[in-house]
Structure 1
């Protein structure tokens, strides 16, 4: 059970599914240090509960998943912030990876603007579903910065080098249908269909072998991040044998054959 306490996110659990809601609608769910610490604590608690099958991350209100970082945290000359800024960036990188490394699949339910740090968070989720009028951008060059949090590599993994460069270098916005076309999101749906679309994905995850789902996520992550194909294959083989030896596999095979 995920207990908190949390001050900037709302966390609820129902039948093995945890929903994390960024809860600063008056700030378009902008992500400051407090939000990042709350998110980190929430995912740390989820990591300790293997009964959780899936996690949904979304934003409060109807305007934004998250409009990104609170820019005020970056004002002023660099010497005013060192080493604080370095520590903050390391904290942010560790937090952004937590959905990616979570044992349970994580679905980003994108209900509006998904910008900057909010987009980084969504990119580290396993599946992204967005309303059709959602807007996506990495506008950091507009404020004289570059993307951080490991997002440069992650963006290239998702959309390729050319599109990643276009998004970053122009600081331009794209809508959800375009984000779906280039592979940034899995599905762009009308607003009235968002709940059903996410529920359908979560149900699909939970209707399969739960251990197999979690080991498959680990194998796919290894395929993306391993330094060599041989290393990825070794991890995949170990996970395959672990799953093959499981009671879940034996039960599901028997049920299939009946």
Structure 2
């Protein structure tokens, strides 16, 4: 399918892989309202493109994946901000993260530098995260008198635990890539020179399995992670299992395995 031009990002689709790049290096790829609007449309279009097997998200340049929200838009007293506009912005932010999390294909955050605030949230709503070893991570919202948003208090706590998230938020602290990996936020930490190869190998490994099985596995795992109880998770898992069992892909791959 055809992807139209964007204002603050680019979307490149090649051989089943969509690469979404934030294009604001002069602002450390900060997230303005224009960027969020571009991301909402990009994720909607990728969601309609069932030929996409994996989506990779990264930032332009070598300094930052994304340094968070464009702080200029928060300046001034609350009375100076239209509450209706702020509510529309909140809905937009939540919609972007929801679209990203619910994409039919696996998503990989390719973290090439600072991953802070809204940038950390963007990475958190991806399925997998790979970072250069000199990247830094944090949620320094309390430094500007605000709290985390966009569903991050739930999602990031899922990944790194309540205690670590509270420490990061309460202190507006930063951690390096190794600590982010140890906390469970990152899948891989690599030297900068190896970032492209590591992400490419991960993408290739995903695409060399049953592609529909991967996408249905994502549905089952996301549902289980957010299910209220084990029985609910089991019920949906069984539903998706039978759905996958009925596919031509499953029959073909099982037959090939048996023949080998």
Superposed pair shares fold, TM > 0.5: yes
Alignment-derived partner of residue 77 in structure 1: 77
Alignment-derived partner of residue 47 in structure 1: 47
SS at match of 2:104: coil
Aligned counterparts, 1:114-193, within 5 A? 114-193=115-194
SS at match of 2:185: coil
SS at match of 1:252: helix
SS at match of 1:30: coil
Distance in 2 separating the partners of 1:9 and 1:233: 39
**What TM-score do the two structures reach when normalised by structure 1?**
0.98
SS at match of 1:7: coil
1:42-95 residue CA offsets vs partner (Å, 9 max, x unmatched): 010011111110000000000000000000111112222212111101110110
SS at match of 2:235: helix
Alignment-derived partner of residue 4 in structure 2: 4
Distance in 1 separating the partners of 2:4 and 2:182: 37
Question: Shift of the alpha carbon at 1:238?
Answer: 0.4
Q: Answer yes or no: is the 8 Å Cα contact 1:141–1:171 preserved in 2.
A: yes
Distance in 1 separating the partners of 2:38 and 2:155: 23
1:199-241 residue CA offsets vs partner (Å, 9 max, x unmatched): 0110011000011000000111011111222111111110000
1:59 paired with 2:59, answer yes
Question: Shift of the alpha carbon at 1:11?
Answer: 1.0
Alignment-derived partner of residue 106 in structure 2: 105
1:111-142 residue CA offsets vs partner (Å, 9 max, x unmatched): 00000000000000000000000000100000
Aligned counterparts, 1:26-41, within 5 A? 26-41=26-41
Q: Answer yes or no: is the 8 Å Cα contact 1:243–1:249 preserved in 2.
A: yes
Distance in 2 separating the partners of 1:90 and 1:113: 25
**What TM-score do the two structures reach when normalised by structure 2?**
0.98
CA RMSD across the alignment:
0.8
Alignment-derived partner of residue 96 in structure 1: 97
1:16 paired with 2:21, answer no
Q: Answer yes or no: is the 8 Å Cα contact 1:116–1:139 preserved in 2.
A: yes
